[in-house]
């Protein structure tokens, strides 16, 4: 790493695929790395595709004290999960997205009014999302009334290649109306345009008075690349795809091999990894 670079004052991490393991655990090494950041006077927070309700367990486990970014950073919440600022998807864009996702044969989730809303509670990945969020979905007969207040829409499918093709087509169709990224191989997220993780880096920089050159970011997916571009130090996980790794300034081990804690030690605290 560049020895002349300014010291890091804030670390912002993605959650799924980065901070937690594939089975959604915070390892002892990850918890210890976050504590070491605090002892070094370096702030720590997260930017995640999760809704606010899915961040509460992290706040408690890691003693988080700074604003957090939910819905890929488009909703800013305090550590008590009170909403500090929120950007919604324009209703017309939300309806077009849902129409196209339905035509592509994907299950659809709509996050609105602080709830996870869906039509089929037994569809694929609902059990995984229950465990991830620690919450039950709100089952509705019709998603349309929620689309005036949608913070995030998710197309869900088990066929990763099909979902990748849907991502390309939907991003082209919606254009500048929304951001479209896969947050997992099986989740295609639609979030407010220009209000993603890159915007979250900018928001924290302003709120905390920390220059972006002194912010480090960690992630594993395409929705993390915008925050890589806005931070002084960017670190891709070993489980990230080639394009994500190419967009980062450094690469660490995967999320099941203590990649987060190794990155903190080597690239942020500049201690040799074991």
184 with 65, same domain: the answer is: no
Out of 166, 192, 218, a domain closes at: 192
**Residue of higher predicted confidence among 253 and 222:** 253
Out of 173, 192, 211, a domain closes at: 192
98 with 77, same domain: the answer is: no
- Provide the pLDDT for residue 183: 86
The whole-model pTM stands at: 0.88
Mark out the alpha helices in 40-134 (DSSP H runs): 56-62, 91-103, 126-133
Confidence of residue 270 (pLDDT cuts 50, 70, 90): confident
128 with 219, same domain: the answer is: no
Structure tokens at 186: 């099986």
State whether residue 58 is helix, strand or coil. Answer: helix
Q: Is residue 4, in this structure, part of any structural domain at all? A: no
219 with 144, same domain: the answer is: no
Out of 192, 227, 251, a domain closes at: 192
77 with 98, same domain: the answer is: no
Of 264, 267, 234, 258, the closest CA to residue 38 belongs to: 264
Q: Is residue 215, in this structure, part of any structural domain at all? A: yes
- Provide the pLDDT for residue 6: 82
Tens digits of per-residue pLDDT, 184-205?
889 999 999 988 899 999 999 9
Indicate the number of domains in the chain.
Answer: 2
Tens digits of per-residue pLDDT, 79-122?
999 999 999 999 999 999 999 999 999 999 999 999 999 999 99
Q: Is residue 222, in this structure, part of any structural domain at all? A: yes
CA dihedral of residues 262, 26, 130, 154 (deg, nearest 10):
-20
- Provide the pLDDT for residue 194: 85
What percent of the chain clears pLDDT 70, i.e. is strictly above it?
97
Tens digits of per-residue pLDDT, 214-237?
999 999 999 999 999 999 999 999
Structure tokens at 221: 């997916």
Tens digits of per-residue pLDDT, 18-69?
999 999 999 999 999 999 999 999 999 999 999 999 999 999 999 999 999 9
- Provide the pLDDT for residue 274: 47
User: Domain with 216 in it: what CATH number?
Assistant: 3.40.50.1000
User: Domain with 185 in it: what CATH number?
Assistant: 3.30.1240.10
Tens digits of per-residue pLDDT, 69-85?
999 999 999 999 999 99
pLDDT surpassing 70 at residue 3: no
Domain of 251? 10-86+195-268
Look-up of token digits 């070993």: 238
- Provide the pLDDT for residue 4: 60
pLDDT surpassing 90 at residue 143: yes
Confidence of residue 156 (pLDDT cuts 50, 70, 90): very high
142 with 220, same domain: the answer is: no
109 with 231, same domain: the answer is: no
- Provide the pLDDT for residue 31: 98
23 with 158, same domain: the answer is: no
Sign for the pseudo-dihedral over CA of 212, 217, 223, 228:
positive
37 with 163, same domain: the answer is: no
Q: Is residue 226, in this structure, part of any structural domain at all? A: yes
pLDDT surpassing 50 at residue 160: yes
């Amino acid at each position: 790493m560049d020895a002349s670079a300014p010291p890091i004052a804030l670390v912002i991490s993605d959650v799924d695929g980065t901070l937690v393991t594939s089975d959604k655990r915070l390892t002892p090494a990850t918890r210890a790395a976050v504590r070491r950041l605090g002892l070094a006077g370096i702030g720590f927070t997260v930017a995640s595709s999760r809704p606010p309700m899915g961040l509460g367990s992290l706040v408690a486990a890691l003693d988080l004290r700074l604003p957090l970014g939910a819905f890929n950073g488009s909703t800013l919440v305090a550590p008590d999960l009170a909403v500090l600022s929120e950007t919604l998807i324009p209703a017309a864009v939300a309806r077009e997205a849902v129409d196209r996702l339905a035509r592509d044969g994907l299950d659809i989730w709509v996050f609105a009014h602080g709830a996870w809303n869906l039509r089929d509670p037994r569809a694929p990945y609902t059990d995984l999302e229950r465990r991830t969020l620690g919450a039950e979905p709100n089952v509705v007969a019709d998603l349309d009334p929620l689309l005036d207040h949608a913070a995030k829409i998710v197309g869900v499918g088990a066929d990763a290649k099909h979902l990748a093709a849907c991502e390309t087509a939907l991003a082209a169709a919606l254009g500048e109306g929304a951001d479209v990224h896969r947050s997992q191989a099986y989740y295609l997220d639609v979030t407010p345009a220009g209000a993603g993780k890159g915007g979250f880096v900018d928001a924290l920089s302003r709120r905390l008075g920390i220059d972006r050159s002194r912010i480090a970011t960690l992630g594993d997916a395409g929705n993390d690349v915008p925050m890589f571009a806005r931070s002084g130090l960017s670190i891709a996980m070993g489980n990230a795809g080639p394009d994500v790794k190419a967009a980062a300034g450094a690469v660490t081990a995967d999320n099941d091999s203590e990649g987060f804690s190794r990155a903190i030690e080597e690239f942020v605290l500049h201690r040799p990894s074991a």
